[in-house]
Amino acid sequence: MKQLLKNLLLSLSHNSRFQRLLERNVNFSQTLMGIGAGSFPDSSGEEVLVLKLEERYATTKQPLCIFDVGANKGQFLSLIVQGLQSTPFCLHAFEPSEYTYKILSENARGYSDLFLNNSGLGKQSGECELFYDEKGSGLASLSKRELGHFGIDFKYSERVTIETLDDYCRSRKVEHIDCLKLDVEGHELDVLQGGRQMFRDRKITMLSFEFGGCNIDSRTYFQDFWHFFRENGMKSIFRIAPSGCLVPLKQYKEEYEQFRTTNFLVLQD
């Protein structure tokens, strides 16, 4: 019976219309899984980070320390401020673009316990070229991305300041990070490598990062992240679904190399 059904489906799939139907079904299923749904905090399931932070505070009773790396105009900042209204925290935000930083500063006006930095984090300290398609773009990246297939041209750039996570924490006397959020358009692994000491010393409790199409341009793979976390004692890795469901990833699989924007949560063991 199974073979008969398989043969029937194979015969039905032998036309482009059926193939398009299969593709739509795959895209819909993946979106519910969180694959391709990670671009916007209000629809990506990232609200689960607020719940995790509240649980953390309930355990420690200590003000939380949150890093927003790749803050853009303050979308994640807004999510945290609204979600943690009764929980004490400080937040360090990083936005390297001068124009976008001004918007971030304006949007953050009136909030307390914020440390805004007109710089980015990376593998090494120094200056780099930031590329973008328009001022204030959420696609801005240290890679000159090839997005012509979307009609997007990265024709603008500016010199920006980059620090390492280790250097920043050392100079600001940051002893512990409760949540490190990374959204730096393909250079998340560089930020991790620039914070090796913090990870080795187990000073980062929770980490959220994006993985998607920008990793094609930076030539980084999910496997690279998997091995980094395993080497640094962080073996609890989850995919964040739009519903807020945390899907545990027990072992590496090649199917995780999905280059559509997806959010992941990593917890210290």
What is the distance between the alpha carbons of residues 186 and 139, in angstroms, rounded to a whole number?
A: 10
Tell me: pLDDT of 215 over 70: yes
106: its two tokens: 């304006």
Cα atoms found within 13 Å of the Cα of residue 141, Cβ hemisphere only: 22
256: its two tokens: 């995780």
pLDDT band per the 50, 70, 90 thresholds, residue 41: low
Tell me: pLDDT of 267 over 90: yes
Across-strand partners of 89? 64
Measured CA to CA in angstroms, residue 264 lies from 38, 115, 203, 230 at distances of 9, 25, 19, 15
What mean pLDDT is predicted for residues 257-269?
93
Q: For residue range 130-184, what is the model confidence (pLDDT) as tens digits?
A: 999 999 999 999 999 999 999 999 999 999 999 999 999 999 999 999 999 999 9
Q: For residue range 77-112, what is the model confidence (pLDDT) as tens digits?
A: 999 999 999 999 999 999 999 999 999 999 999 888
Tell me: pLDDT of 248 over 80: yes
Tell me what pLDDT residue 158 has: 96
Per CATH, the number for 33-127+163-267 is: 3.40.50.150
- Every domain of the chain and the residues it spans: 33-127+163-267
Cβ–Cβ contacts within 10 Å for residue 235, how many?
Answer: 14
59: its two tokens: 């355990």
* Contact between residue 194 and residue 168 where contact means Cβ atoms under 8 Å apart: no
How far is Cα of residue 241 from the mean position of the Cα atoms in its chain? 13
Q: Which of 197, 196, 249 is nearest to 223 (CA)?
A: 249
pTM equals: 0.91
Could you give the angle at the alpha carbon of 255 between the alpha carbons of 235 and 2, nearest 5°?
120
Tell me what pLDDT residue 182 has: 97
